[in-house]
Amino acid sequence: MRDTGATPLWKVVSMRRILVLVAAAAMLAVVTAPAGAVGGPRPFETDHKTASKTDAIPPVFVDPGPTINAAGDEFDGDPLRLVVWPNDVRRYSIGTDQIGVYICTWDGATAGLDINAVTATLNTTVAPFYDALSDGGYNPVFVKRTVVTLPGPSYQGCADEIERTVNPLWNDNAVIGALDNPFNGGRGGPGIYCNNCVSLANTQFPANQRWAVVDGGSVASIGGFPTHVTTAAHEVGHTISFPHSYSGESSDEYDNPLDFMSGNMPGHLLGGRADDPYGSLAFNRYRAGWIEPSDVVFYNGGVVEMTLAPAGVDGTQMVVLPTDYQYSFVALDARLNSAVDPIPENFEGVSAHYIEQWCRDLLTDEITPCGGLSSRPYSYPPSPYAVDHVTPVGGEARFDVDKGEELRVQGAKLEVLEETAEGLVIKLIGFDDVADSVFVDDILWLADSGITRGCGETSFCPKDNVTRGQMAAFLVRALGYTDDGGGGDLFVDDDGTTFELDIDKLAAAGVTKGCNPPVNDRFCPNDAVTREQMAAFLVRALGLTDNGGGNNFVDDDNSVFQDDIAKLAAAGITTGCNPPVNDRFCPTQRVTRQQMAAFLNRALG
């Protein structure tokens, strides 16, 4: 039994509201996508309000130059081809990452930060947090450097003075400065990107321009307030290319309560930030190289039941719902309260995020791929200051992406069935060819009920006609028939067919007599089912007796199944075939698979 009141591995601290909002300059986002996209991609943020503030420092792109081997394309280095520029993103996020620690003070500074204490705090809070979140894959080591003096408090001024002071022999991969004040905020960035070059000529500060600066309240307890570790962890996250996740429906890039790279909000959702960092999106962990490709599953349709494991537990960590646009997809992960991820219990469940890794140049309108800090993870569905993008145990969600690119399995249904020691047991139900069907809900019900497995691994073939053999299988699964009539071969024309056993069970239940009266030694398994035959099948299967007075439709007077049609209408299973008038039944019209789904859902759902 897991401890739902687990405290963080790195420290036990209380929660408080943030003292000061992060002050930073507006980021100039240059955005990109795949070559050859006609008219460019559909952006998720169609009605997005531009973020008013951001602490993330955009990466600086450099020409790799003739001495550096450049990789072939933007996905090289990622076998699943999910992460754009993985070599840039993973340059510092795997293994030991040495980060120099500085205090930036000035005349009149009041916090009185001690560099030894700040370094110790980072090594006993932020370092263990990343070690736990990465399952040992990333180990930042904070090393005491020196105190520098500024004219006054400034994030950029602190970074500039550190650059002037740094000893290149220290060989730090990055630096973190702490402003000698009691506030809580910061800035940070990954420094130089080189569009996926295999090796970078300069991987250490200051050549790589990789730095973070935080206010004193992020690294020390000042004025009786607990140390706000979240901010320090957040800014270090930016130095390994973690972007903000957010809803895209507010002007705040910090409105995702579930992510330490965003709101990191306590359970009451009052807009404050919890002092201790929560976990983050599985996609962040994958792009950082902390999740093995074998622990990622692509869902392309069908009925799939599986266990989704949270951070810190072995198993599948992420499910990807792809679009046809290689830089956009939905990612699902399991979030459960634990020492690795101390979220409130009311945040637990399967979280969904829509990932965009393309950018549009604001001047040329050119679309190109962009990853890392320039990518955009959105809560899905958009959930500003809420967790509507989290499906709890016992809950359901539908993925009908109406912004951005449509999913290959548009309209897929997620059910979170139960929690086990291994994680959350989920079921995904959907097909890649039913999004435009008016019967999509009926089709998903049919699949969820185990009545259909589709017509292939990922498709349903909604407009295909239903054969009598398929009809037998649908009804046998729906009604749970098990008696095959003693194993007798009831018909001469179904031997060796896929549905022979289902046909025998249907006949044993009295639902069919055959297709060639009066002999009825044949079933005609490959013949298409007509609507009047469907009426007879369902009336016998359901034992319907009330015909409601009969004569519901003007076109079934000559049908031998007229009484069955009337009983089906009286039971509300059919309303006709010509809405809105619905005075016709179209008795000889063939039944499609999607219509069959509707008939069965009305009858049994």
Per-residue pLDDT at 17: 23
What angle, rounded to 10 degrees, do the helices at 500-508 and 468-479 form?
A: 60
7: pLDDT strictly greater than 60: no
564: pLDDT strictly greater than 80: yes
Q: C-alpha distances in angstroms, 161 versus 156, 177, 178, 372?
A: 9, 10, 12, 27
| pLDDT, the chain, mean | 87
Read off the pLDDT band of 269 (50, 70, 90). low
Read off the pLDDT band of 446 (50, 70, 90). very high
Mean pLDDT over 172-176 rounds to 97
Q: 90-240 maps to which CATH number?
A: 3.40.390.10
414: pLDDT strictly greater than 80: yes
Digit-coded pLDDT (tens) for 111-165: 999 999 999 999 999 999 999 999 999 999 999 999 999 999 999 999 999 999 9
Digit-coded pLDDT (tens) for 356-370: 999 887 788 888 898
Question: Where is 537: in which H helix or E strand?
Answer: helix 531-542
Q: Tell me what percent of the residues of the chain surpass a pLDDT of 90.
A: 72
Q: Which residue from 560, 558, 499, 555 is spatially nearest to 527, judged by alpha carbons? A: 499
Read off the pLDDT band of 434 (50, 70, 90). very high
What angle, rounded to 10 degrees, do the helices at 468-479 and 593-604 form?
A: 30
Mean pLDDT over 26-49 rounds to 43
Query: Whose structure tokens read 């399952």?
Result: 135
* Least trusted range by pLDDT, from 70-84, 188-202, 334-348, 531-545: 188-202
Per-residue pLDDT at 96: 97
List CB contacts of 54: < 8 A, sequence separation 6 or more: 24, 25, 26, 27, 244, 253
19: pLDDT strictly greater than 50: no
Read off the pLDDT band of 2 (50, 70, 90). very low
How far is the C-alpha of 397 from the C-alpha of 321, rounded, in Å? Answer: 13
Mean pLDDT over 501-524 rounds to 92
Per-residue pLDDT at 57: 82
Kindly report the pTM of this predicted structure: 0.86
Buried b (16+ CB within 10 A) or exposed e, 408-430: bbbbbbbbbeebeeebbbbbbbb
395: pLDDT strictly greater than 70: yes
Read off the pLDDT band of 592 (50, 70, 90). very high
How far is the C-alpha of 343 from the C-alpha of 263, rounded, in Å? Answer: 12
> Do 431 and 315 contact (CB within 8 A), yes or no?
no
Per-residue pLDDT at 3: 41
Read off the pLDDT band of 32 (50, 70, 90). very low
Read off the pLDDT band of 28 (50, 70, 90). very low
Name the token pair of 276.
Answer: 């201790």
Domain with CATH 3.40.390.10 in the chain: 90-240
Per-residue pLDDT at 48: 44
549: pLDDT strictly greater than 60: yes
Per-residue pLDDT at 361: 78
List CB contacts of 301: < 8 A, sequence separation 6 or more: 408, 409, 412, 430, 431, 432, 454, 457, 458, 459
Q: C-alpha distances in angstroms, 384 versus 253, 265, 292, 515, 541?
A: 9, 11, 31, 59, 49
Digit-coded pLDDT (tens) for 199-219: 666 789 999 999 999 999 999
How far is the C-alpha of 59 from the C-alpha of 194, rounded, in Å? Answer: 10
Q: Which residue from 520, 485, 522, 529 is spatially nearest to 504, judged by alpha carbons? A: 485
Mean pLDDT over 246-256 rounds to 89
Per-residue pLDDT at 53: 53
Mean pLDDT over 96-117 rounds to 97
42: pLDDT strictly greater than 60: yes
Read off the pLDDT band of 170 (50, 70, 90). very high
Per-residue pLDDT at 453: 85
Per-residue pLDDT at 4: 45
254: pLDDT strictly greater than 80: yes
Digit-coded pLDDT (tens) for 465-507: 999 999 999 999 999 999 987 766 789 999 988 999 999 999 9
Per-residue pLDDT at 212: 98
> Hey, how many other C-beta atoms are within 10 angstroms of the C-beta on 36?
6
Bigger pLDDT: 542 vs 269:
542
Bigger pLDDT: 594 vs 488:
594
List CB contacts of 474: < 8 A, sequence separation 6 or more: 446, 451, 452, 466, 596, 600
31: pLDDT strictly greater than 60: no
How far is the C-alpha of 402 from the C-alpha of 44, rounded, in Å? Answer: 8
Mean pLDDT over 298-311 rounds to 96
How far is the C-alpha of 22 from the C-alpha of 160, rounded, in Å? Answer: 19
